[in-house]
Amino acid sequence: MTSCRVAIAPSLLALSGCEAGFQSPLAPAGEQASNIYSLFWLMMAVCGFMYLLVLGGLGIGVWRGWRQRGEVAAPTIDPADRGLNRGLLFWAGLIVVGLTVLITGSFLVERRIAAARARDALEMRVTGHQWWWRIQVRDPETGGWIETANELHLPLGRTTRVSLGSSDVIHSFWIPNIAQKLDLIPGRINRVDLTPTRVGWFRGQCAEFCGVQHAHMALDVKVDTAEEFARWLASQKRPAITPADAVAARGLQVVAGEQCAMCHAIRGTQATGRAGPDLTHFGARRSVAAGTLTMSRGAVQGWITQPQAVKPGTMMPPVALSPADADAASRYLMGLK
Ligand code: CUA
């Protein structure tokens, strides 16, 4: 995560999150974000110029006052003063020009974002839940929907049109490197286009306070090349693999037979719950619990036995498992590639 296109002071880079670069609007990796990035610099330039002019004027006034201290009784304004009138006219003109530039820039950027190449757009649905993301990808071959969660894969250079909905409260979908943010509102579908221009991992974040674990509602985003994306989609389409050894087989029994199956689906098994994230290819993901923990067997085991300790308030109840069963379940889940 090193690439960053802005060459400003290191401290500013760190402040902007640019050093990491994977969750920053100042390191655009998408057409939409690039447009917003140019608008950002236009606004910085216009407003910065005006700010410096005002500070300069103030400085000159203070300096003059200081030089003439004691000489003038009180400031006088002569309405017939030509210089003063010309100065005022100049300022008014400058403000009108500055605002016109900003309004025009903003208008053009919005038009460019709205005019994404949507013709061969890939279709996805993202649904916000407290506190995770349901992701469905339209299968270009069958027209059906392939479900996954918390990890969004996007093909490079191609527009993905995402329909955003919510199952509970208002959330906000924001991948700063790729596009603008947009709310997920219950009872309504919003659409956002994502056209990534650089491969790599990025981080999305829910950007609307949605309850105690709002901060732990992150989204792993991977921009793939066309081939990588096709491979990923093909792997997501397959049902879950059958366990390779006795421990994992016991894990399958635990997961599909216990309370896990009431909320989670694992395609190809008896687990068909819909309340929680689909786990069919859980082990292939990068993180556990919507970006809360890095994927590892320890993290999975901790999460399934003590979810309230990892993410207080989560809808996931603790599962009372014997240590051997917890170990088997985590082994099985990790194997779901
Ligand atoms: Cu979902 Cu904040």
Write out pLDDT tens, residues 116-149: 666 778 999 999 999 999 999 999 899 999 999 9
- Residue 204 is inside which H or E element, if any? strand 200-205
User: How confident is the model at residue 114, as a pLDDT?
Assistant: 84
Amino acid at position 166, single letter? S
- Rounded to whole angstroms, what are the CA distances from 37 to 88, 136, 170, 180? 33, 29, 26, 10
The finding on whether 213 has its CB within 6 A of some atom of ligand 1 is no
User: How confident is the model at residue 244, as a pLDDT?
Assistant: 85
Query: What tens digit of pLDDT does each residue of 247-270 get?
Result: 999 999 999 987 899 999 999 999
> Which atom of ligand 1 lies at the shortest distance from residue 184's CA?
1
Residue 193, SS3 per DSSP: strand
> Which atom of ligand 1 lies at the shortest distance from residue 210's CA?
2
How many CA atoms lie less than 13 Å away from 49 in the CB half-sphere? 13
- How many whole angstroms separate alpha carbon 135 and alpha carbon 151? 8
- How many whole angstroms separate alpha carbon 177 and alpha carbon 172? 15
User: How confident is the model at residue 124, as a pLDDT?
Assistant: 97
β-strands 160-166, 122-129: how paired?
parallel
- Report yes or no: 336 and 260 within 8 Å, Cβ to Cβ: no
The finding on whether 171 has its CB within 6 A of some atom of ligand 1 is yes
- Rounded to whole angstroms, what are the CA distances from 194 to 62, 146, 149, 204? 51, 19, 18, 12
Residue 291, SS3 per DSSP: coil
What parts of the chain have a pLDDT lower than 50? 1-11, 13-14, 16-19
- How many whole angstroms separate alpha carbon 317 and alpha carbon 307? 7
Residue 266: DSSP 8-state = -
User: How confident is the model at residue 3, as a pLDDT?
Assistant: 42
Long-range contacts of 34-41 (CB under 8 A, 24+ apart): 34/197, 35/109, 35/112, 35/113, 36/109, 36/113, 36/180, 38/109, 39/105, 39/106, 39/109
User: Model's pTM, two decimal places?
Assistant: 0.85
How many CA atoms lie less than 13 Å away from 229 in the CB half-sphere? 21
The finding on whether 210 has its CB within 6 A of some atom of ligand 1 is yes
DSSP assignments along 224-238, one per residue: E-HHHHHHHHHHHHS
- Compute the distance from residue 153 Cα to the ligand 1 centre, in Å: 20
Q: Which of 145, 138, 141, 143 shows the shortest CA–CA distance to 123?
A: 138
- Compute the distance from residue 134 Cα to the ligand 1 centre, in Å: 13
> Which atom of ligand 1 lies at the shortest distance from residue 128's CA?
1
Query: What tens digit of pLDDT does each residue of 105-120 get?
Result: 999 999 988 876 667 7
- Compute the distance from residue 3 Cα to the ligand 1 centre, in Å: 28
| Structure tokens, 12 | 């500013």
Q: Whose CA is nearest to atom 1 of ligand 1?
A: 171
> Which atom of ligand 1 lies at the shortest distance from residue 211's CA?
2
- Compute the distance from residue 239 Cα to the ligand 1 centre, in Å: 30
Other beta carbons within 10 angstroms of residue 252's beta carbon come to 23
> Which atom of ligand 1 lies at the shortest distance from residue 131's CA?
1
β-strands 293-294, 287-288: how paired?
antiparallel
The finding on whether 128 has its CB within 6 A of some atom of ligand 1 is yes
- Compute the distance from residue 39 Cα to the ligand 1 centre, in Å: 26
The finding on whether 214 has its CB within 6 A of some atom of ligand 1 is yes
- Compute the distance from residue 138 Cα to the ligand 1 centre, in Å: 24
- How many whole angstroms separate alpha carbon 301 and alpha carbon 34? 40
User: How confident is the model at residue 149, as a pLDDT?
Assistant: 96
The finding on whether 217 has its CB within 6 A of some atom of ligand 1 is yes
User: How confident is the model at residue 211, as a pLDDT?
Assistant: 96
